[in-house]
Amino acid sequence: MPDKMDRTQQPPISELEELDLQKPVRTVLPNGIPLSVINSGEQEVCRIDLVFEAGQLRQNTLLQALFTNRMLREGTVRYTSAEIASKLDYYGAWLELTCSMEHAIVTLYTLNRYCRETLSVLHSMVTEPVFPEKEFATVVDMNLQRLQVNLANVEYLSQRSLLGSLFGENHPYGKFAKEEDYRNLTTEHLKSFYDKYYTSDNCHIFLAGKITPAVMDAVTDVMGTKPFGSNKADLTKPCFEIQSVPQKRIFTEKSDAVQSSLRMGAVTIDHNHEDYLKLRVLITLFGGYFGSRLMTNIREEKGYTYGISAGLMSYPDTSVLMINSESDNEYVEAVVREVYAEIDRLHTEPVSEQELTMVKNYMIGEMCRSYESAFALQDGWIFIYVSKLDDDYFRRSLRAVKEATPQDMARLARQYLCKETLKEVVAGKKMS
């Protein structure tokens, strides 16, 4: 049969109409803990996340939240740290402990057939930790070593300096631990923080994977039967005053640096603002992907840097618009100059429909790729929960991208992408 397809013509690209992600099934366990379940996937594996509102904003001592979360795996009433590690290895499970500004998360990946056994270990970790002194000293030393490595890194120095300059060194977003903070921290600090915030009334459980009746029974029996924690968590929202420094240019000297690290940034709107989703489109066009204006100009055409990017770093109630680059010391000023030139161009020249379409296609593709698996979906719905967003957020995100216009880009650039508000932070060798 003859081939009637015209192979000289590209087939039409089907357009994504809706971003209709699978929603979690939400229930409440017998002990009152909310449970969100995403039953998806063919592999006999699941992931369980215990989310506590126990982040760094709640601490009254630096490192308190981070180390409380980290030390949960270092020993309980029933298990030593070695036994926890051995049991999880034996059952092929994997544990992650993370701590953000607002939340602490304990994540367990486990094979379905060993779900009950691994959940028993997890339950012991979050309900009866003992914070042993020997293990605590080891963890402190390990983190101190990591700090020393970071302090030799110009990227770390510039990032820290930028956030300190934007928020002030007394604000949680701009305050960073020093060596003495590690030395002054005690297990008593951790125990008091744990007692206050690691309670069943301050916990939300997320479950994803191939969720069989046996898995649900194990979660209910092990995690959902009895309340835990003796105190009701005080979740009064703390308030902090932003005290940015007046200087526009901040320099951190690193005399042996081969390259300089440049950070430019300003405090901007948070993800609840009506402009936020379309602002993401502008920032992607500006510096959010390989074909962005900053990459095209400063890397591809000028050759000043191997890479440069722009993005929005979200915090509770605010965001930071940040531009990142590393370059040879001699090119720093040229990079700054070209960044400002691109901002001027966005203020004065309309974005073409062709360029905007390319950015939209990239962003829509990233949206699709970001939620292909059950665990990726779980990440998305945890983000919705911790950010206090509604279930329609993903659909709104897609709509904002599809509906963005060149006129939107011009308005947003003039309103939020301003040379006058950007601080410039450089970490590296001082040039004569």
| pLDDT tens, residue by residue, 293-303 | 999 999 999 99
Q: Pairing relation of β-strands 249-253 and 318-328?
A: unpaired
What is the reported pLDDT for 7? 60
Per the confidence metrics, is the pTM higher than 0.85?
yes
* Rounded Cα–Cα distance for residues 401 and 357 (Å): 10
What is the reported pLDDT for 41? 85
The pLDDT mean for the chain works out to: 93
Yes or no: say if 287 and 279 are a contact pair by the CB < 8 Å rule: no
Rounded average pLDDT over 75-96 = 97
Which residues are CB-neighbours of 390 under 8 A, at least 6 positions away?
Answer: 384
CB count, 10 Å around CB of 240? 15
Residues of the chain above pLDDT 70, percent = 95
* Rounded Cα–Cα distance for residues 142 and 247 (Å): 35
* Rounded Cα–Cα distance for residues 220 and 32 (Å): 11
The yes-or-no verdict on residue 364 having pLDDT over 70 is: yes
Q: Pairing relation of β-strands 34-39 and 203-209?
A: parallel
Residue 97 has, within 13 A of its CA and on its CB side, a CA count of 14
Cα separation values, 11 from 8, 14, 357, Å: 9, 9, 17
What is the reported pLDDT for 300? 94
State both tokens at 80: 């030593």
Binning pLDDT at 50, 70 and 90, where does residue 248 land? Answer: very high
Per the rule left: phi > 0, alpha: psi between -120 and 50, beta: everything else, 295 is alpha
How are strands ordered across the β-sheet holding 249-253?
Answer: 249-253, 423-428, 259-268, 318-328, 305-315
Which residues are CB-neighbours of 276 under 8 A, at least 6 positions away?
Answer: 269, 270, 312, 319
The yes-or-no verdict on residue 368 having pLDDT over 60 is: yes
What is the reported pLDDT for 231? 73
What is the reported pLDDT for 370? 86
Among 47-51, 235-239, 294-298, 325-329, name the one with the lowest average pLDDT.
235-239
* Rounded Cα–Cα distance for residues 367 and 363 (Å): 6
* Rounded Cα–Cα distance for residues 378 and 38 (Å): 7
Yes or no: say if 286 and 342 are a contact pair by the CB < 8 Å rule: yes
Yes or no: say if 254 and 425 are a contact pair by the CB < 8 Å rule: no
Yes or no: say if 382 and 51 are a contact pair by the CB < 8 Å rule: yes
Please, what are the domains in the chain? Answer: 25-223 (3.30.830.10), 249-428 (3.30.830.10)
User: What is the length of the chain?
Assistant: 432
AA identity, residue 344: D
What is the reported pLDDT for 8? 64
What is the reported pLDDT for 6? 64
pLDDT tens-digit profile of 129-148? 999 999 999 999 999 999 99
What is the reported pLDDT for 427? 95
Binning pLDDT at 50, 70 and 90, where does residue 15 land? Answer: low
Binning pLDDT at 50, 70 and 90, where does residue 430 land? Answer: confident
pLDDT tens-digit profile of 105-137? 999 999 999 999 999 999 999 999 999 999 999
The yes-or-no verdict on residue 326 having pLDDT over 90 is: yes
Among 3-7, 332-336, 398-402, name the one with the lowest average pLDDT.
3-7
The yes-or-no verdict on residue 87 having pLDDT over 80 is: yes
